């Protein structure tokens, strides 16, 4: 979608409500407060969602009116203004059949499910998403919302984890979902599972220092010589990608120390096999310590706090 040629600040100064909404849609900016404020003025809606006289709303084409209503509905839910969102949903049904959104359409049911979620009707929202998935099993949005509903309810952690796992089986390229699955695994101390998930994230974001840091920390926490090596590898990659990543530098030192402890516990035979790795770990500890000292040199107490 191509938005207005002017920048957002210019549109705001002109109070060009229509093009403000167009710009935010085109650039996929999350500015719910702006959308609610200017959407209400554009559509002639009051704080409680009722219609008021508005010359600009009367001049809107039906496609633009419906797009604005949908945009304001989602933004209203984002800021917790449920009554306004429900009013926008009702307004999408107003008018002639050619200028309204059918209740059986996926577009309407998606918004209906979101409104039901926001009002706390998880069973109703889940029924809506189940129906959407029945009509189209590849509906990624409905499958994600099913997980979110379960994750929002206390005592349903296992069901939520299974729902997310089912989603990933058919949407393995969804990097944010893998990242969420890693967080879920960490919450139940499944470090092996979390490491697997972060490996998938790293495949999609190979140049992200933070991802390699989290992956290295997960391997280090899992324990064992091989995991300590993998931790060292990813944390070294993290500092190579971002030399100012203090968390990665600390993690690299911790991983090297963990490796030395694991080798020591493994016995003399293993220590001899890992002789080269031991020397590397010792050098990393020294190098990492010097690097951290250089970061803090000349800083005041609490400056990095």
Q: Which residues contact 29 (CB under 8 A, 6 or more apart)?
A: 8, 23
Residue 17: per-residue pLDDT: 92
* pLDDT tens digits, one per residue of 233-284: 999 999 999 999 999 999 999 999 999 998 888 877 777 788 888 899 999 9
**Quick one: pLDDT at residue 34?**
95
pLDDT category of residue 63 using cuts at 50, 70 and 90: confident
Environment class of 28 (CB within 10 Å of its CB; exposed 0-12, middle 13-18, buried 19+) = exposed
User: Do 216 and 229 contact (CB within 8 A), yes or no?
Assistant: no
Q: Which residues, other chains included, contact 184 with Cβ-Cβ below 8 Å and sequence gap of 6+? A: 157, 160, 161, 164
Tell me the pLDDT tens digit for each residue of 130-177.
999 999 988 999 999 999 999 988 888 889 999 999 999 989 999 999
Mean pLDDT, residues 65-78 taken together? 94
Q: Which residues pair with 45 in a beta bridge?
A: 51
| Predicted local confidence at residue 275, as pLDDT | 81
1, 47, 251, 19: which is closest to 9 by C-alpha? 19
The model's pTM is 0.79
Lowest mean per-residue pLDDT among 69-83, 91-105, 144-158, 236-250: 91-105
Give the whole-angstrom CA distance, residue 305 versus residue 185: 29
208 burial level (CB within 10 Å; 0-12, 13-18, 19+): middle
Which DSSP state fits 176?
Answer: H
Residue 54 pLDDT = 53
Long-range Cβ pairs for the range 153-160 (8 Å, 24+): 153/122, 157/184, 157/187, 157/188, 160/184
Residue 1 has pLDDT above 70, yes or no: no
pLDDT of 40 above 90: yes
What's the pLDDT score for residue 55?
47
- Dist CA 172 CA 183 (whole Å): 16
Question: What pLDDT is recorded for position 50?
Answer: 61
pLDDT, one tens digit per residue, over 115-126 is 999 999 999 999
DSSP symbols for 188-248 = TT-HHHHHHHHHHHHHH-TT-HHHHHHHHHHHHHH-SHHHHHHHHHHHHHHHHH-TT-HHH
Residues 6+ apart with CB under 8 A from 97: none
Q: Which residues contact 58 (CB under 8 A, 6 or more apart)?
A: none
pLDDT in tens, 173-210: 999 999 999 999 999 899 999 999 999 999 999 999 99
Kindly indicate the confidence band of residue 85, based on its pLDDT and cuts at 50, 70 and 90: very high
- Residue 45 phi/psi, 5° resolution? -105, 145
Query: What distance in Å separates the CA atoms of residue 75 and residue 38, rounded to the nearest whole number?
Result: 11
Q: How far apart are alpha carbons 96 and 99 in whole angstroms?
A: 5
Mean pLDDT over residues 35-42, rounded? 93
Give yes or no for a contact between 136 and 127, defined as CB atoms under 8 angstroms apart.
no
At residue 298, the pLDDT reads 64
CA nearest to 251, candidates 209, 217, 223: 217
pLDDT tens for each residue of 218-237: 999 999 999 999 999 999 99
Tokens of 214: 């989290």
């Amino acid at each position: 979608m191509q938005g207005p040629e002017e920048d957002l600040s210019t549109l705001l100064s002109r109070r060009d409500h229509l093009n403000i909404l167009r710009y935010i849609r085109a650039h996929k900016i999350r500015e719910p407060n702006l959308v609610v404020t200017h959407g209400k003025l554009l559509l002639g809606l009051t704080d409680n969602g009722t219609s008021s006289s508005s010359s600009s709303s009367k001049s809107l084409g039906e496609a633009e009116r419906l797009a604005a209503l949908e945009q304001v509905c989602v933004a209203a839910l984002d800021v917790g203004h449920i009554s306004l969102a429900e009013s926008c949903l009702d307004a999408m049904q107003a008018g002639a059949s050619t200028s309204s959104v059918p209740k059986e359409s996926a577009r309407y049911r998606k918004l209906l499910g979101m409104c039901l979620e926001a009002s706390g009707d998880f069973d109703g929202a889940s029924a809506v998403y189940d129906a959407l998935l029945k009509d189209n099993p590849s509906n990624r949005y409905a499958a994600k919302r099913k997980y979110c509903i379960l994750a929002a309810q206390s005592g349903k952690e296992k069901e939520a984890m299974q729902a997310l796992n089912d989603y990933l089986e058919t949407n393995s390229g969804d990097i944010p979902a893998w990242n969420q699955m890693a967080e879920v695994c960490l919450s139940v101390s499944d470090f092996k599972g979390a490491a697997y998930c972060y490996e998938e994230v790293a495949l999609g974001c190979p140049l992200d220092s933070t991802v390699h840091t989290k992956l290295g920390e997960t391997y280090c926490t899992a324990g064992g010589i091989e995991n300590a090596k993998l931790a060292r590898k990813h944390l070294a990659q993290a500092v190579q990608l971002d030399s100012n990543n203090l968390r990665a530098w600390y993690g690299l030192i911790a991983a090297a120390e963990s490796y030395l402890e694991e080798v020591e516990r493994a016995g003399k035979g293993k220590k001899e096999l890992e002789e080269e790795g031991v020397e590397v770990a010792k050098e990393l500890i020294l190098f990492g310590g010097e690097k951290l000292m250089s970061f803090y040199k000349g800083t005041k107490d609490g400056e990095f706090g």
